[in-house]
């Protein structure tokens, strides 16, 4: 079964700490819509600072909401050319420190 997983890779001109702050803001928005408990259970993502990437599992309703909110925020905050997004077959197996999952 194919999963809905999206990898966002950011250019060197974007401060990755700002990307993580935008992800945090996205999580707050998702919690407002789906509740804290459901968000903690269903919002899965991995942050990979060395690769300047965020991977979001959008296979649940909460994950789809997180993906939609995050892409909307990063487009407005950093611009269309500051990142690229691709669909993956699965979530990476090893999660770096600080990742949710």
Domain count, the chain: 1
Residue 100: inside a domain, yes or no?
no
The CATH number assigned to the domain holding 29 equals 3.30.70
> What are residue 24's phi and psi, to 5 degrees?
-60, -45
> pLDDT tens-digit profile of 11-53?
999 999 999 999 999 999 999 999 999 999 999 999 999 999 9
Residue 77: inside a domain, yes or no?
yes
Q: What is the pTM of this model?
A: 0.85
Residue 1 has pLDDT above 50, yes or no: no
Which residue range is the domain that position 55 belongs to? 5-88
Residue 12: inside a domain, yes or no?
yes
Residue 99: inside a domain, yes or no?
no
């Amino acid at each position: 079964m194919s999963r809905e997983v999206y990898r966002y890779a950011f250019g060197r001109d974007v401060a990755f700490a700002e990307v993580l702050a935008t992800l945090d803001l996205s999580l707050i928005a998702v919690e407002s819509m789906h509740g804290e408990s459901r968000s903690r259970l269903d919002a899965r993502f991995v942050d990979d600072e060395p690769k300047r990437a965020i991977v979001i599992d959008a296979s649940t309703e909460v994950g789809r909401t997180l993906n939609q909110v995050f892409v909307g925020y990063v487009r407005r905050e950093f611009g269309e050319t500051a990142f690229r997004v691709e669909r993956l077959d699965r979530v990476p197996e090893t999660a770096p420190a600080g990742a949710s999952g």
